[in-house]
């Protein structure tokens, strides 16, 4: 059976990383081979780029510089990790992928989704997710979550420290993507209990994998 790429998206504090990890654990429990990665990151080169992108001590970054750094990390992740795993039939779970640049740089930085989409096609080598989980929460809720805990607001990274208007544009960008690609992007209420959400998400993906397995026979 061919590989299957699942991506998790959403604004800061939406709970996507938690849900991605819960899905990984559930799929592994049922004997699936799962490869998990993240953006920016996933590879040694990508993780170094991540350090630059999220460094809260850096000054203002030109939006195009930011975009190209994300694209560079993405290209490395796709070629070094994602495509080889898919060729081997693995389920790949990616914590953010190309949609993130459409929402964050295309809408949030106002570069324009169409310009970002063209560059995304180059950086992904045409690789598309089979299914995208979009966890939607009000921006204020997400930022409150980021401020909670011992570290609090002082430990927010460079992106998390942006103004609420920026994060609102990102959310609107994500919701526009869900409207544009309803067959791939499914919106979930990220304010729901994590366990309840995890059960629903894993159920969706299990059914998709079963359908795909049936068609390949």
Average pLDDT over residues 191-202: 97
Average pLDDT over residues 132-143: 96
Place of tokens 């994300």: 70
Question: Percentage of residues in the chain with pLDDT exceeding 90?
Answer: 87
Model confidence at 96: pLDDT above 80: yes
**pTM, full prediction:** 0.94
The answer to whether residues 96 and 9 touch, using CB atoms and an 8 Å cutoff, is: yes
Query: How high is the pLDDT of residue 156?
Result: 82
Average pLDDT over residues 1-13: 94
The string of pLDDT tens digits covering residues 32-81 is: 999 999 999 999 999 999 999 999 888 789 999 999 999 999 999 999 99
Query: How high is the pLDDT of residue 201?
Result: 98
Long-range contact list for 75-79, CB < 8 A, 24+ apart?
Answer: 75/122, 75/123, 75/124, 75/125, 76/42, 76/43, 76/45, 76/46, 77/37, 77/39, 77/41, 77/42, 77/43, 77/46, 78/123, 78/124, 78/125, 78/127, 79/125
Average pLDDT over residues 164-190: 97
Phi, psi of 6 (to 5 degrees): -110, 130
Average pLDDT over residues 167-178: 98
Query: How high is the pLDDT of residue 37?
Result: 98
Query: How high is the pLDDT of residue 188?
Result: 98
Model confidence at 150: pLDDT above 70: no
Confidence of residue 154 (pLDDT cuts 50, 70, 90): low
């Amino acid at each position: 059976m061919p590989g299957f790429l699942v991506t998790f998206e959403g604004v800061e504090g939406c709970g996507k990383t938690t849900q991605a990890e819960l899905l990984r654990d559930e799929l592994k429990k049922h004997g699936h081979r799962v490869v998990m990665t993240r953006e920016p990151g996933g590879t040694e080169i990508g993780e170094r780029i991540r350090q630059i992108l999220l460094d809260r001590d850096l000054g203002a970054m030109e939006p195009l510089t930011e975009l190209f750094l994300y694209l560079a990390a993405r290209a490395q992740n796709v070629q070094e990790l994602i495509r080889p795993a898919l060729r081997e039939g693995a389920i790949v779970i990616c914590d953010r992928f190309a949609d993130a640049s459409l929402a964050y740089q295309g809408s949030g930085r106002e570069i324009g989704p169409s310009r970002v989409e063209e560059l995304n096609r180059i950086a992904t080598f045409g690789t598309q997710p089979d299914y995208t989980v979009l966890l939607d929460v009000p921006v204020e809720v997400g930022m409150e979550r980021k401020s909670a805990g011992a570290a609090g607001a002082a430990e927010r990274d460079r992106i998390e420290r942006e103004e609420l208007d920026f994060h609102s544009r990102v959310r609107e960008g994500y919701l526009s993507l869900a409207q544009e690609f309803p067959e791939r992007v499914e919106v979930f209420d990220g304010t729901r209990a994590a366990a309840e959400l995890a059960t629903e998400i894993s159920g969706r993906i299990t059914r998709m994998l079963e359908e795909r397995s049936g068609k390949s026979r």
